[in-house]
Chain A
Amino acid sequence: MGSKRPMRLALPKGRNLKVTVEALRAGGFQLAELDSDDRKLLFQAPADDLEIFLLKDWDLPLYVQYGIADCGVVGSDVLEERDGDLLVPVRLKGGGCRLSFIGPEGALPPAGSQVRLATKYPNVARQVLAAKPWGAEVMKLSGSVELGPILNLAEIALDIVQTGRTIRENGLVELEVVREVSPCLVVNRASYQQHRERLTTLIRRMEEAGVVA
């Protein structure tokens, strides 16, 4: 039966990869294969008894949700937007950022007003807007969301802010923090049952090392 295959771990290709690898190494994984400079996206890691996939953040929950990967690490922003049924045992302490309204200084809409809002997170935006005294037409963009307010596609944007440098360099400010965002370890329900002991050991070690909360 195929169930004897190694556990499959999906890692994010983007900004969270470095902090994820550091946290997993603190949990006891070696992940030596990730030190190579090649552009491989799939790795066999026999020393860790793992198969490793490098995936885009937005695709990663899908791979875990359907059992192609057993577990992975993905930002809580993406996880919330994707609204899957994944288990989230721990969050990484590193790699934190904020999901914030951004726009020109003073652009936060007054109560009763209606604006356009550019974002990669339409589902989260609709949830957040439901509790606001102002309304917005949500416009979904795929990237460079800060261009929305700059080019007047929208009055404000909802996007990730890490250091704030990008928005500052584009003449924008962080108007309001909506969510604290951090990379999360995610597992699908079936894999959690199948690999429970191994995952628990990994998580406990990461907790002891102080790299997860």
Chain B
Amino acid sequence: MKVSAALPPGVSALFFEAAKDRRRLEARLVQELEQRGFAEVILPILDYFEPYEPLLSPAGRGELYRFIDRAGDQLALRADFTPMLARLLAPRIAAVDLPLRLFYSGDVVRYQEVRAGRELESYQIGAELLGLSGPAAEAEVLTSFLELLTLCGVEEATVVVGFAGALDSLLLAAAGDPEALIRLGLAVNRRERSAARAAHPALLEVVEKGVPADAAVLGPAAPILERLHTLLEGLRARFPGLRLVLDLAEFARFHVDEKARQAADQRSYYDGILFRAYGPQRALPLGGGGRYDQLFRQVGAESVSAAGFYLAVDRILALTEEGGAS
């Protein structure tokens, strides 16, 4: 009988050198994380769906591979490490010494319409810093992310930094009501100039340059901008090969205003600094992360300051193998 070696679209098998390359990079990253005091957690690829349902937007639900097991429980393949880690740690978090530094690695599986280049399965290494609040945690997480990115051999990348909800006040003032705010937030996120221009001159500045000329238009979020400027200034000197860009439009869809979140049916758990790295000629991010203080409360624990990041290992390997490796 002839057996086909075909795999479903969006997944791949790694043989020989490709497998070695991934393991080599993974080992290097694991060693580096352990040296920084991060302890490994190994998480299952299969879990109950029900605990995560309140955290998922309709789009997020649509990306899950779900099924009913023999016991009648609805299960899902892992699509994100962070909520699973938070849920499993929630009952224990009051008993552990904080801050806690954890890392994990493995596949996440998300359904996407099958087209060339789409990944259904993506191998990630991620790290979480729990119990450290304020700018110190932001700086540690972003710095670790950049250091690991460069350690991977990424010589050239653009790292876009923003803050969840930084535009909420401006969007609400310009839009008038939460539903219009959602539409305007989406338009800013998609850099739609005419919508931004019509709503508020400062939004056109955000669309064009990433930040408004006068931070005061951001209302209560104005000091955050100053803080991020200072953070990035320090990091630029340390990472001259990386282009660090402060860009609030990139994350304009992340709201913290409760009315806006409800109107948008937003379930994203990010509520602070956000960042994403893009390699040259790569449209998909090499990694990203941010702060998510609300998540532990959402899964039933006391509030715990939390921030983390992930690196998309195979995307990084594809980039560095093309000549970006140091």
Contact = CB atoms under 8 A, between A and B. Distances in A.
Q: Do A and B bind each other?
A: yes
B190 A1 contact: no
B106 interface: no
A44 B68 CA distance: 54
Contact of B191 (A62, A67, A192, A194): A192
Interface stretch (B77-85, B224-232, B258-266, B280-288): B280-288
Contact of B283 (A2, A66, A83): A66
B283 A3 contact: no
Interface in A50-99: 62, 64-67, 83, 86-91
Chain B facing A: main interface SS: loop
B158 A1 contact: no
Contacts of A90: 192-194
Interface string B171-200: 000000000000000000011111000000
B117 interface: yes
Contacts of A88: 190-192
A87 B208 CA distance: 12
Contacts, number: 70
Interface in A16-72: 62, 64-67
Contacts of B247: 193
Which size class do A's interface residues fall under?
A: 20 to 34
Contacts of B75: none
B13 interface: no
A190 B156 contact: no
Contacts of B194: 90-91, 213
A1 B280 contact: yes
A87 B190 CA distance: 4
A3 B190 contact: no
B239 interface: no
Given A2-B323, A3-B156, A194 B280 contact: yes
Contact of A193 (B156, B193, B278): B278
A66 B279 CA distance: 12
Contacts of A2: 280-281, 322-323
A190 B283 contact: yes
A89 B278 CA distance: 20
B168 interface: no
B250 A189 contact: yes
B218 interface: no
Contacts of B160: 193
A5 interface: yes
B171 to A, nearest CB: 18
Contact of B156 (A1, A64, A87, A191): A1
Given A1-B156, A88-B191, A200-B208, 13 more contacts: A1-B323, A5-B281, A67-B282, A67-B284, A88-B190, A88-B192, A89-B191, A89-B192, A90-B192, A90-B193, A190-B279, A190-B283, A193-B243
Interface of B: 113, 115-117, 155-156, 158, 160, 190-194, 207-208, 243, 245, 247, 250, 278-285, 322-324
Interface of A: 1-3, 5, 62, 64-67, 83, 86-91, 187-194, 200, 203, 207, 213
26 contacts: A1-B155, A1-B156, A1-B280, A1-B323, A1-B324, A2-B280, A3-B280, A3-B281, A62-B115, A62-B116, A65-B117, A66-B283, A66-B284, A88-B191, A88-B192, A90-B192, A90-B193, A189-B278, A190-B283, A193-B160, A193-B243, A193-B247, A193-B278, A200-B208, A203-B193, A207-B193
